[in-house]
Amino acid sequence: MRFTPVVALAAFTASTTASVASDRYIVHFADAASARAATHASQFAPTERRLSDAPRHLRSLAAGGEVFELGPDEASRVSALPGVDAVEEDLMFEPTTVVASLWKRQWYMHDPKVGVDAEKAWKYTRGAGAVVAVLDTGITPHPEFDGQLLPGYDFISDAGAARDGDGRDADPTDMGNWSDPGECHSPEGKASTWHGTHMAGLIAARAGNRPGIVGLAPEAKLIPVRVLGRCGGRSSDIADAIVWASGGDVPGVPTLARRADVINLSMGTTGACGPLLRRAIEQARSRGSVIVTSAGNDQKNANTNTPANCPGVVSVAALGRDGAMASYSNFGNVTLAAPGGHIGDRGADDILSTWDIGKRGRERSVFGYRGGTSVAAPQVAALVALMRSADPDITVDQVTQQLVDNARPLPGPCPKGCGAGLMDAGATVDAVVEDRGRY
Ligand SMILES: [Ca+2]
Ligand SMILES: [Ca+2]
Ligand SMILES: [Ca+2]
């Protein structure tokens, strides 16, 4: 007996549950007769149909193919039926900066090869109770941060670099770090990067809102700390901000009620780790804050880049979409690696996060791609938040040890050294939960 597509479609869709949401798919049939039979029969589907009761034919397409409403589970099985050549999703197109759900584009979270296995970690925790300080260019308003932010601070003491009219203040809003031609070692000038906003989204963009992304620790809280302005930031401001974010006293600035569990430093410059940064980092560690830094994008050993070369930090190299060390990444003296995408032509192989569309001042919240060791570090910082959420008593050194012990082998080559391997959120949080109370 030969099953027609219609009969076969009806036979298996009955076994799917009503809880499976239907979606639109384009079914390509092998011949006109199969198409006619399928589309004709589905006209007799009940008008008050429940979702996924039966495939519902919506229309025939001028370029060939029939639009059906199918559950996502049904689609793959329909494609295997006799008489069906192919099934494709009726994709939702929107303006390039905003799409309905961006989870599929967050490959760094779930790609089986080079992703960090967020979903396994989320079986245990989404970061509730943990606090992450992001020392960066500040923060911009974005729907992804609604309810996610704790009060931050602006540590930029030079008003010209801060662009907010004064020195240090309690408002860490990013005023833009664009440069005019000839400024900041840039002959052509540069657009604002909204770098801090991008880092913050990777850590704790909230879950559940659409359109949107989700951070690796969506229930953790963010402390936005502004230290990088026009042409960058000074170690004097950065060191004070590290002390402050870790709960220490900085003259003239209200002390934090609760120190950050982890401080993200996606920044660097060539040189040794100076005495000031060494002391600030050691003090922060002694108060229980883990320091995560980018390894740097200089294609050199990370021991040439500071703060990546400061004692006691977790330094993070970057992997490309293929799982090999990214061409720009520093290497060698690093703790581990995380997905970082590419640099240059920004696209789907880069790391998607929160952004603002403004070229100078902020204008409108959007999502955008960025590559670099900068975007690798916050994924590790978010993992530290998950670890502290799972076990608030885990020490700074135990955090580092668990990150190293549970990293997985690199999917691609890194001949000059990527530390312990690829960060693995699932395996690491699993191990922290397993070891809880055993230290
Ligand atoms: Ca200011
Ligand atoms: Ca300010
Ligand atoms: Ca979101």
Confidence at residue 80, expressed as pLDDT on a 0 to 100 scale: 83
- Say if residue 139 is in the same domain as residue 220: yes
- Say if residue 372 is in the same domain as residue 263: yes
Q: Is the pLDDT of residue 226 over 50?
A: yes
Domain-embedded: residue 153? yes
Nearest ligand to the CA of 103 is 3
Confidence at residue 72, expressed as pLDDT on a 0 to 100 scale: 66
Nearest ligand to the CA of 167 is 1
Question: Where residue 44 falls among pLDDT bands split at 50, 70, 90?
Answer: very low
- Say if residue 137 is in the same domain as residue 31: no
Average pLDDT over residues 47-62: 64
Domain end residue (candidates: 56, 89, 122):
89
Confidence at residue 46, expressed as pLDDT on a 0 to 100 scale: 34
Of the listed ranges 96-110, 235-249, 262-276, the least confidently predicted one is 96-110
Nearest to 176 by CA among 238, 231, 229, 237: 229
Q: Which helix (H) or strand (E) holds 75?
A: helix 72-78
Question: Where residue 25 falls among pLDDT bands split at 50, 70, 90?
Answer: confident
Alpha carbon of 308 to ligand 1 centroid (Å): 27
- Say if residue 294 is in the same domain as residue 200: yes
Report whether the peptide linkage leading into residue 311 is cis, meaning its omega lies within 30 degrees of zero: no
Domain-embedded: residue 96? no
- For the chain, give the mean pLDDT: 89
Which residue(s) pair with 132 in the sheet?
A: 222, 262
Domain-embedded: residue 268? yes
Whole domain around residue 42: which residue ranges?
5-89
Confidence at residue 45, expressed as pLDDT on a 0 to 100 scale: 34
What CATH number does residue 189 fall under? 3.40.50.200
Average pLDDT over residues 275-293: 98
Alpha carbon of 244 to ligand 2 centroid (Å): 16
Q: Which residues surround ligand 1, an ion (CB under 5 A)?
A: 154, 162, 164, 166, 169
- Say if residue 78 is in the same domain as residue 128: no
Alpha carbon of 276 to ligand 3 centroid (Å): 37
Domain end residue (candidates: 89, 123, 158):
89
Nearest ligand to the CA of 160 is 1
Q: Is the pLDDT of residue 3 over 50?
A: no
What CATH number does residue 39 fall under? 3.30.70.80
Q: Is the pLDDT of residue 8 over 50?
A: no
Q: Is the pLDDT of residue 7 over 70?
A: no
Nearest ligand to the CA of 175 is 2
- Say if residue 306 is in the same domain as residue 421: yes
Domain count, the chain: 2
Sheet holding 221-226, edge to edge: 153-154, 221-226, 131-136, 262-265, 290-294, 314-319, 336-339
- Say if residue 32 is in the same domain as residue 156: no
Domain-embedded: residue 228? yes
Alpha carbon of 72 to ligand 3 centroid (Å): 22
Q: Which amino acids are annotated catalytic?
A: 136, 195, 374
pTM of the model: 0.79
Alpha carbon of 143 to ligand 3 centroid (Å): 8
Percentage, residues of the chain above pLDDT 90: 74
- Say if residue 17 is in the same domain as residue 121: no
- Say if residue 266 is in the same domain as residue 333: yes
Q: Is the pLDDT of residue 92 over 90?
A: no
Alpha carbon of 129 to ligand 1 centroid (Å): 30
Return all residues near 350 (Cβ < 8 A) that are at least 6 apart: 341, 342, 369, 370, 371, 375
Domain-embedded: residue 94? no
Question: Where residue 345 falls among pLDDT bands split at 50, 70, 90?
Answer: low
Q: Is the pLDDT of residue 152 over 90?
A: yes
420: Cα within 13 Å, side-chain hemisphere: 18
- Say if residue 427 is in the same domain as residue 404: yes
- Say if residue 112 is in the same domain as residue 246: yes
Alpha carbon of 170 to ligand 2 centroid (Å): 6
Alpha carbon of 201 to ligand 3 centroid (Å): 9
Domain end residue (candidates: 89, 115, 148):
89
- Say if residue 188 is in the same domain as residue 211: yes
Judged on CB neighbours under 10 Å (0-12, 13-18, 19+), 251 is exposed
Domain-embedded: residue 98? no
Nearest ligand to the CA of 168 is 1
